[in-house]
Structure 1
Amino acid sequence: MQEPAGTLDIRRFESSGSVHTIELGEASLDDLTEDQLLWIDLEGGSEPTITDVLGRLGIDDEVAAWFLDRSAMPELRVRNGWFFVRVVAVRNDGELAYNGTVLAILAGRNFVITSHKDPVDFLTKLRERESHDSGLGMLGADSFTASLLDWHVNSYFDAVADFESADERLETDILDDRHGECLHSLRGLRKAASRLRRMLSAHRGVFAAIARPDFRPGTDGEVNRHFQTVDMHFQRAMEAVENAREVVIGSFELFSNQTALRTNAIMRVLTILAALMGGLAVIAGVLGMNFEAPFFKTGLTGFVIAVSLMTGLALAGLALAWWRKWL
């Protein structure tokens, strides 16, 4: 089955704040001035479509091959003043089912090309926000790419926020004793935390590389600070993801404690009932002895007295247990 052609969005940002949506035939990487920033975003599309778009922009086959690589492994490449980075943005498909969307970014002199097979939420929001009167034209391609990578890291913070909300709901259900399948939910949280950690930790090499001084030695210090800030943001995201695993452990301990408390309460009730029944059994056993005592010759009156005595003792025992809050 042939893949759809995809959606191509091309915008040229001016330093004056104006934004121009242009066609592919109008886009020229060589004619860009220092006061312009060209952003080309390709969503979906088959390999021939991607190759055609990059070819018409003058991108050689070697760089085009980086885009055509469908690997989900984050990667950073540098060539002739351009750099290519592949990252995986996380999305929550519901019920903490975290999946990733591969985002490929190529940055050169005053242009940035992004390509992704599926929609990326933060790119959609960015296009809507910067549709007019945008200040992106004042940024260079490196700084704009740093912003995209920072938005990418934010997608993991959003995922952690969803995770923590689900965990809080589960803990509330545990404390209210309203959750009948806590172990199933805890297992789902554990899988989600592990999934987030695997997805984000794979980017460690990429973000460490862009934060090094030798990544863009020809640019000014402000650009390097932008990339270093993104790396710091990534480190905080890693800490948040690592903390998610600790949150699951804490929820499991809460579940274990609540289970132990319920078990203790049940055992306390059973102990009280066993003590009462044991006492009544002793009385019934004594009354069942075959001695020639006057009480055993009282007939129905003696039977009523014995039953009343046993009932009274049982009620007294239950009242004592209730008063002492054993029940």
Structure 2
Amino acid sequence: MADGEAENQRDRICRARLFDAQGDDRSVACGDLAQLHLQDRHLLWVDLTRPDAKTLDDVWAALALPEPAVAAVDSTTTTPFLGKCGDFFWVRVVAVSGNDGLALCGQVLTLIGMRNAVVSLHDEPIPFLDTLLEREAAGSDIGGLSAESFVAALLDWHLTTYFGAVADFEIAVERLEVGILDERRRDSLPELRRLRKAASRLRRMLAPHRAVFSALSRPDFRPSESDQANAHFAALDTRYERAMDMVENTRDLVVGSFELFSSQVALQTNTSMRLLSFIAVVVGTLAVMAGILGMNFDAPFFKTQATGFWMAVAAMVVLAAASVALGRYRQWF
């Protein structure tokens, strides 16, 4: 049982799949990487999730990874980066994860490309990598892609995480705006603060990638590669700009929500002031009547005693009720 658990753990740490353009795809044990003989129509993908030092050393030795690449991969920094050495190149990016558009977490993903092989390295499981492995498990023609094109595909999936985060963010904004328009809800500032922080964090996570994607699309990055791979990198840079535009728009969405909140608060304040003004007019009118009745004139009305008092009170009540009815009819409050 312990041996089976250890084997499953190794399978989760290191997953390797050999894609064959002829349709003969198969999984490969990471311990057998050194015995593989990759051909032109082959593409090896090795996915490493929080590997231990021995696993890393074995994979690097099997793939003959140069020292500059090993040093870059072993770095603990999370800043997006692009480097190359001979036929090897590596890129470090940060994918975004979150389930409601606000609780955003960064997941560092390092991709290493070489002739007929790609390695992906990350500390935590990344959903789109699992999805891709499951989707292509039944056979595919990915083996016809070059390593550069496959890295471009993985980076495109990486950008999709930002599109998904923006979509979740927009849902959160719409939910907030519906709440703002609800007359029973008063305080939306805490939610607006959360949205503003999320928009800023999303931009800080994506903006540093500009140097990486622009460098990938330049002709001097891989001048010996085919036009097809260069076209993939150029399309990837365009998609990055689209993602950046959408992330920039999240701040405008928050500003729009704040303006809606401000307008709603102003409308509620105006309604309250209108009601207070109406009450002041009615009470002031009744005060004038009471003042007139309190004048020291020897008028016959003042000799009616209790009857006159109740007549005055009734007149005030009728005047107040008529004023309220008129205000409701004219929708003053």
TM range (shorter): over 0.9
Taking the TM superposition and a 5 Å limit, the aligned residue runs for 1:271-282 are 271-282=277-288
AA at the equivalent of 2:68 = E
Q: 1:220 aligns with which of 226, 230, 233?
A: 226
Deviation at 1:244, TM superposition (A): 0.6
Q: 1:303 aligns with which of 309, 313, 326?
A: 309
Deviation at 1:53, TM superposition (A): 2.9
Any unmatched runs of 5+ in structure 1? none
Q: 1:27 aligns with which of 25, 29, 33?
A: 33
**Hey, what does 1:290 align to over in structure 2?**
296
Q: Distance in 2 between matches of 1:220 and 1:231?
A: 17
Aligned residues: 324
Checking the alignment, whether the CA contact within 8 Å between 1:74 and 1:206 is kept in structure 2 is yes
**Hey, what does 2:168 align to over in structure 1?**
162
Deviation at 1:61, TM superposition (A): 3.5
Any unmatched runs of 5+ in structure 2? 1-8
**Hey, what does 2:109 align to over in structure 1?**
103
AA at the equivalent of 2:118 = V
Q: Distance in 1 between matches of 2:50 and 2:187?
A: 40
**Hey, what does 1:232 align to over in structure 2?**
238
Checking the alignment, whether the CA contact within 8 Å between 2:80 and 2:209 is kept in structure 1 is yes
Q: 1:141 aligns with which of 138, 147, 151?
A: 147
**Residues 1:124 and 2:130 are matched in the alignment:** yes
Q: Distance in 1 between matches of 2:314 and 2:184?
A: 41
Deviation at 1:289, TM superposition (A): 2.2
Q: Distance in 2 between matches of 1:31 and 1:232?
A: 36
Q: Distance in 2 between matches of 1:82 and 1:63?
A: 8
Checking the alignment, whether the CA contact within 8 Å between 1:47 and 1:68 is kept in structure 2 is no
Checking the alignment, whether the CA contact within 8 Å between 1:29 and 1:57 is kept in structure 2 is no
Taking the TM superposition and a 5 Å limit, the aligned residue runs for 1:184-195 are 184-195=190-201
Structure 1's 57 and 240: CA in aligned 2 closer, same or farther, altered over 3 A?
Answer: same
Deviation at 1:47, TM superposition (A): 4.0
AA at the equivalent of 2:61 = G
Checking the alignment, whether the CA contact within 8 Å between 1:85 and 1:106 is kept in structure 2 is yes
**Hey, what does 1:115 align to over in structure 2?**
121
**Residues 1:72 and 2:78 are matched in the alignment:** yes
AA at the equivalent of 1:272 = F
Deviation at 1:260, TM superposition (A): 0.4
Deviation at 1:65, TM superposition (A): 1.8
AA at the equivalent of 1:108 = M
Q: Distance in 1 between matches of 2:101 and 2:164?
A: 14
**Hey, what does 2:5 align to over in structure 1?**
none
Write 1 or 2 for the structure with the bigger share of helix: 2
Structure 1's 97 and 84: CA in aligned 2 closer, same or farther, altered over 3 A?
Answer: same
Q: Distance in 1 between matches of 2:299 and 2:198?
A: 75
Deviation at 1:18, TM superposition (A): 2.8
Structure 1's 140 and 28: CA in aligned 2 closer, same or farther, altered over 3 A?
Answer: farther
**Residues 1:204 and 2:206 are matched in the alignment:** no
Checking the alignment, whether the CA contact within 8 Å between 2:107 and 2:126 is kept in structure 1 is yes
Report Cα offsets for 1:70-111 as digits up to 9, x if no partner: 211000001012110000000015461111100000000000
Q: Distance in 1 between matches of 2:35 and 2:307?
A: 111
Q: Distance in 1 between matches of 2:303 and 2:24?
A: 112
Taking the TM superposition and a 5 Å limit, the aligned residue runs for 1:172-191 are 172-191=178-197
Task: Please give the secondary structure, in 2, of the residue aligned with 1:27.
Answer: helix
Deviation at 1:179, TM superposition (A): 3.2
Q: Percent identity?
A: 47
Task: Please give the secondary structure, in 2, of the residue aligned with 1:216.
Answer: coil
Which deviates more, 71-80 or 29-38? Answer: 29-38
Structure 1's 282 and 47: CA in aligned 2 closer, same or farther, altered over 3 A?
Answer: farther
Which deviates more, 175-184 or 66-75? Answer: 175-184
Q: Distance in 1 between matches of 2:244 and 2:130?
A: 25
Task: Please give the secondary structure, in 2, of the residue aligned with 1:13.
Answer: strand
**Hey, what does 2:272 align to over in structure 1?**
266
Deviation at 1:60, TM superposition (A): 3.6
Q: Distance in 2 between matches of 1:209 and 1:31?
A: 31
Q: Distance in 2 between matches of 1:300 and 1:48?
A: 105
Which deviates more, 149-158 or 47-56? Answer: 47-56
Q: Distance in 2 between matches of 1:220 and 1:262?
A: 64
Task: Please give the secondary structure, in 1, of the residue aligned with 2:190.
Answer: helix
Q: CA RMSD in A?
A: 1.6
**Residues 1:247 and 2:253 are matched in the alignment:** yes
Normalising by structure 2, report the TM-score: 0.93
Task: Please give the secondary structure, in 1, of the residue aligned with 2:93.
Answer: strand
Checking the alignment, whether the CA contact within 8 Å between 2:113 and 2:151 is kept in structure 1 is yes
Normalising by structure 1, report the TM-score: 0.95
AA at the equivalent of 2:129 = L
